[in-house]
Amino acid sequence: MRVETNERRGERIDAIDQRLISFITKLGWVPVPVPNLGVGIAEWLLAVAPEGLVLSGGNDLCVVGGDAPERDATEVGILEWASSRHLPVLGICRGMQLIALMNGAKLERRANHAGVEHDIYGTLSGRVPSHHVWCIQSLPKTFEVLANSEDGSVEAITSPDHRTLGIMWHPERMKKVRPVDVEWIARTLGGCDPR
């Protein structure tokens, strides 16, 4: 979950966009928000036993100036835990950036990707909402590209076994959820059936 600070109360808060919860339910999955526990996340995941994981957007990664180290530690733990159990993972925006970094890619700052809609091309195509300033500079090892933007930035990736999927746009922030996003995410990560 995103980390926010309430200065008035002196609190750091785990938060999630309600639209993301709604989008996850459209996939037929049962969302259970994961707290930013850092190093204790493996024990929490073992107790909850999720069948798949979603890494949401929000907060820059600390390696590019972000200020939520507890989130970075939690999500690194989530990816390691999911990998060791061969669980499906969907990374949205920041989630895709972390997946890429953990698999050998580098990030670079790019203009014209924050607060805009732009077209993507490739196996996946269409107009999508973009809310990031950090793009993937190089393709992660063993991953394949599913979509690029007009300027060549990588917009969607998947692992060879299709158990990990990363997208740079926010399907939950569309005025109306695109059925194509629901269909191909559910199809690609089909091993995640929480029913």
Of the CA atoms within 13 Å of residue 24, those in its CB half-sphere come to: 23
162 is catalytic: no
Residue 78: per-residue pLDDT:
96
Residue, of 192 and 22, whose pLDDT is higher: 22
Residue 132: per-residue pLDDT:
81
Q: What is the pTM of this model?
A: 0.91
The rounded distance, in Å, linking the Cα atoms of 125 and 188 is 15
Residue 46: per-residue pLDDT:
95
The rounded distance, in Å, linking the Cα atoms of 71 and 69 is 5
170 is catalytic: yes
In the set 75, 113, 135, 170, the catalytic residue is: 170
Residue 77: per-residue pLDDT:
96
Mean pLDDT of 3-11: 94
pLDDT digits (tens, 9 = 90+) for 86-112: 999 999 999 999 999 999 998 988 877
Residue 113 has pLDDT above 80, yes or no: no
C-beta pairs of 39-45 under 8 Å, 24+ apart in sequence: 39/73, 39/77, 41/73, 41/74, 41/77, 41/78, 41/81, 42/77, 42/81, 45/77, 45/78, 45/81
Structural domains for the chain: 2-188 (3.40.50.880)
In the set 75, 93, 113, 192, the catalytic residue is: 93
pLDDT digits (tens, 9 = 90+) for 137-169: 778 788 999 999 988 889 999 998 878 999 999
86 is catalytic: no
Residue 138: per-residue pLDDT:
79
φ, ψ for residue 11 (rounded to 5)?
A: -120, 145
The rounded distance, in Å, linking the Cα atoms of 63 and 149 is 24
The rounded distance, in Å, linking the Cα atoms of 27 and 187 is 10
Residue 28 has pLDDT above 70, yes or no: yes
Closest CA to 74 of 92, 104, 54: 54
Task: Quickly state the pLDDT bin for 192 (edges 50, 70, 90).
Answer: very low
Residue 45: per-residue pLDDT:
96
Closest CA to 90 of 56, 121, 120: 56
Residue 129: per-residue pLDDT:
81
Q: How many CB atoms lie within 10 A of CB 32?
A: 10
In the set 132, 155, 172, 192, the catalytic residue is: 172
Placement of tokens 């059925």 in the chain:
179
Residue 189: per-residue pLDDT:
83
